[in-house]
Amino acid sequence: MTTDPATASTTSPEGLATAAALALGDDALVLSHRLAEWAGHAPELEEEVALANIALDLLGQARVLLSLVGDEDELAYLREERAFRNAQLTEQPGGDFAATIVRQLYFSTYQRLLYGRIAAAAGEGTGDGGLGGLAAKAVKEVAYHQDHAEQWTLRLGDGTEESHRRTQAAVDALWRFTGELFQPLPGLDGVDWAELEADWLSSVTAVLDRATLTVPDGPRTGAWRAGAGRQGLHTESFGRMLAEMQHLHRSHPGATW
Amino acid sequence: MTTSDWPLWEVFVRSRRGLSHTHAGSLHAPDAAMALRNARDLYTRRSEGVSLWVVPSTAITASSPDEKDPFFEPAADKPYRHPTFYEIPEGVQHL
């Protein structure tokens, strides 16, 4: 690679918010891979198809976003861990089904609210960073992802004692990764990030309440001073995930079938 | 994969150009709302449909294969049951 897109300037001469495209593209790529890990392991065949469909939607978004930044294959397969800008929430291991569903609830709610705002900013000309077209198309997909996560959160939270316990554990464990999502991304000037965060909180709280789950009262960010995923700092399991995602391309560069 | 204890649902899809819902297949789901979502994922992802019905398979009363003959093979010597004795006036359309 000639330039490292992670350290390149945040906005291209054409007004494209490359840093934002990279961050959102990495979110979609990494979460897509995490969801694809369920293939062959989901509790029910129907649910496996649902998760794979969501993973494919996200992969499609990742391809568009990363192509705006550079060569999509190079970006996906040849970057080191520190060059990825995805939020740490998206790289958290699937764990049990409840953990996957809670991760989906947190992230899809964020994505729907954010894409809706980017699309609106494009309409009003207040600064969409050149991502308005993608956002307008993706927001429909993401609304379905959110519905899927919400339906399952309600059933797991208000289901059996066991499903309630597991879901509450996931709600608590992932809570500290949600604050990072609302770090403003450069170039998306039309997005009011404080309002986005408030909307996210009220939407997630409403679902957790209906699901008889308790909204955690702990902090929504970790203790790292140096930053988190948006600064290229990732959690332990991410390296192993990348190794699996990248090893084929690195072992057989340019392989096709 | 363990055997599903979720109930079975029959899925009917109304295609983009069709007027009526057509049986597309079946799936497992814990309840009707989830069955509708699973049906969307399994049967309409390639823009096959514009409307979906899901029906619990247990709600369908079917004719038995044992009764096939009395049900479906009426005597063939009653041609008057078939509307073939009418002259169709010229110019009548959609018949």
Whether the CB-CB separation of A209 and A168 falls below 8 Å is answered with no
Distance from CA of B21 to the nearest CA of A (A): 22
**Distance (Å) from the C-alpha of residue A63 to the closest C-alpha of chain B?**
20
Query: Is A6 a domain residue?
Result: no
Give the contacts of B12 (CB within 8 A, at least 6 positions apart): B21, B22, B23, B24, B52, B53, B54, B55
What residue spans define the domains of chain B?
8-81
What is the rounded radius of gyration, in angstroms, for the C-alpha atoms of chain A?
A: 18
The one-letter amino acid at A164:
H
CB contact under 8 A, B29 and A46: yes
Would you identify the CATH topology of the domain B8-81? Ubiquitin-like (UB roll) (3.10.20)
Exposure string over A106-142, b if 16+ CB within 10 A, otherwise e: bbbbbbbbbbbbbbbbbeeeebbbbbbebbbebbebb
Q: Is the pLDDT of residue A6 over 70?
A: no
CATH code at position A163? 1.20.1260.10
Q: Which residues of B touch A45 (CB under 8 A)?
A: 1, 4, 28
Question: Rounded to a whole number, what is the distance in angstroms from the first to the last CA of chain B?
Answer: 52
Lowest mean pLDDT among A13-17, A83-87, A180-184: A13-17
Question: In Å, how far from its chain's centre is CA A227?
Answer: 17
Mean pLDDT taken over chain A: 89
Residue A210, in any domain of the structure: yes
Say what the pTM is.
Answer: 0.85
Residue A67: give the domain boundaries. 18-251
For B65, residues 6+ apart whose C-beta sits below 8 A from its C-beta are: none
Q: Sheet containing B22-28: give its strands across.
A: B22-28, B8-15, B49-56
Q: Which residue of B has its CA nearest to A155?
A: B30
Residues B34, A155: C-beta atoms closer than 8 Å: yes
Whether residues A44 and B4 touch (CB distance < 8 A) is answered with yes
Q: In chain A, which residues have their Cβ closer than 8 Å to the Cβ of B42?
A: 46, 49
| Minimum CA–CA partner of B35 in chain A | A46
**Residue B28 forms beta bridges with which residues?**
B8
- Residue A2 pLDDT: 42
Give a yes or no: residue A12 inside a domain: no
Bridge partners for A21 per DSSP: none
Q: Is the pLDDT of residue B3 over 60?
A: no
Match 């995805």 to its residue by tokens: A86
Residues in B closer than 8 angstroms to A151, CB to CB, are 33-34, 37
pLDDT digits (tens, 9 = 90+) for A93-105: 988 999 999 999 9
Q: Which two structure tokens, joined as six digits, stand for A52?
A: 């794979």
pLDDT at A1 over 50: no
Among residues B47, B45, B56, which one has the least CA distance to residue B11? B56
Q: Nearest by CB to B28, which of A44, A147, A151?
A: A44
**How large is the greatest C-alpha to C-alpha distance in chain A, in angstroms?**
56
Please report, as a single letter, which amino acid is at residue A155. Answer: R
Taking the C-alpha atoms of residue A105 and residue A90, their distance in angstroms, rounded to an integer, is 11
Task: State how far residue A40 is from chain B, nearest Cα, in angstroms.
Answer: 9
**Local confidence band at A4 (pLDDT 50, 70, 90 cut-offs):** low
For residue A86, the SS3 value is coil
- Per-residue pLDDT at A127: 78
